[in-house]
């Protein structure tokens, strides 16, 4: 699938640093694939494009399996960091938990079961520095996908500006339409934005700096 061209090499991964030590040297053709289900998360480094939701071929990918409870018991906010990440999933909730507070620039999501399912009790998750979101539901809306590039509409060199994406979990559950709305706002001296009810990990931002917040829903 050409959509899989979004894939790239593996970035620094705080949660999985140990794994990267045992992985082979990182080549530019490699990309990171996370397969997320109810109880497990499999993190793979793959050598070539794969058809979304296919069986992961062990001769093309090096994979490590983790019980999801590993993430549940991690008290600190997730610090998953990837430049390019592909996620195949059957559990929208676990994807929201995995990606919440992460830093991913190019994110490709594929929902690998057909049931649209019901909305989740958690309504959003945040991804820092998100530049592009690609999502498909191959078994629910075959042949269709959503592909959103963030930031360009603001007319700024968006890659130089702090950015935060607030993604509604309905996007993971299944949305026939995907919309994005970006606002430029300020972080005050207390690190607060005009959206106090939303947790935004912005420790790395200097006071009074501006930030682009994109809502995807």
Ligand X SMILES: *[C@@H]1O[C@H](CO)[C@@H](O)[C@H](O)[C@H]1NC(C)=O
Residues 147-206 that bind ligand X (CB under 6 A): 199
| Residue 102 CB, nearest approach to ligand X (Å) | 10
Instruction: Pick from 20, 37, 90, 101 the residue near ligand X by CB under 6 A.
Output: 101
Instruction: For residue 24, give the DSSP letter.
Output: P
Residue 96 touches ligand X, criterion: CB under 6 A = yes
Sequence-distant (6+) residues with CB within 8 A of 67 are 39, 40
Residue 76: CB minimum distance to ligand X, A:
9
Give CA separation, 45 vs 10, 86, 91, in Å.
Answer: 7, 10, 21
The Cα-based distances of 91 to 9, 54, 127 in angstroms read 25, 16, 18
- Considering only 17-25, 26-34, 97-105, 133-141, which stretch makes contact with ligand X by CB under 6 A? 97-105
Total of residues contacting ligand X (CB under 6 A): 11
Q: Residue 64: phi, psi to the nearest 5?
A: -135, 135
Which of 122, 156, 176, 192 is close enough to bind ligand X by CB under 6 A? 122
Among 59, 118, 121, 189, binds ligand X (CB under 6 A): 59
Among 60, 64, 83, 139, binds ligand X (CB under 6 A): 60
Give the 3-state secondary structure of 124-179: EEEEECCCEEEEECCCCCCCCEEEEECCHHHCCCHHHCCEEEEEECHHHHCCCCCC
Stretch that binds ligand X, among 93-101, 145-153, 175-183, 207-215 (CB under 6 A): 93-101
Question: What's the min distance (Å) between Cβ of 195 and ligand X?
Answer: 13
The token pair that represents 88 in the structure block: 């195949």
DSSP state of 160: G
Q: Which residues of this chain interact with ligand X, rule CB under 6 A?
A: 57, 59-60, 77, 96-97, 100-101, 122, 125, 199
């Amino acid at each position: 699938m050409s959509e899989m061209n979004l894939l790239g090499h593996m970035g620094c991964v705080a949660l999985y640093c140990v794994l990267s030590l045992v992985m082979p040297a990182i080549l530019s053709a490699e990309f990171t694939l996370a397969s997320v289900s109810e109880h497990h998360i499999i993190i793979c480094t793959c050598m070539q494009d794969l058809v979304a939701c296919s069986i992961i071929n062990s001769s093309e990918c090096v994979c490590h399996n983790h019980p999801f409870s590993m993430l549940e018991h991690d008290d600190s906010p997730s610090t998953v960091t990837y430049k390019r990440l592909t996620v195949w999933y059957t559990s929208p909730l676990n994807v929201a938990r995995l990606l919440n507070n992460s830093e991913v620039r190019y994110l490709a999501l594929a929902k690998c079961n057909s049931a649209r399912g019901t909305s989740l009790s958690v309504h959003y998750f945040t991804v820092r520095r998100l530049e592009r979101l690609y999502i498909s539901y191959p078994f629910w809306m075959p042949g269709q996908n959503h592909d959103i590039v963030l930031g360009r509409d603001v007319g700024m060199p968006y890659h130089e500006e702090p950015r935060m994406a607030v993604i509604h979990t309905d996007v993971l559950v299944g949305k026939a339409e995907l919309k994005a709305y970006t606002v430029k706002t300020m972080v005050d001296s207390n690190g607060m934005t005009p959206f106090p009810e939303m947790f935004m990990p912005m420790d790395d931002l200097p006071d009074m700096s501006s930030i682009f917040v994109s809502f995807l829903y």
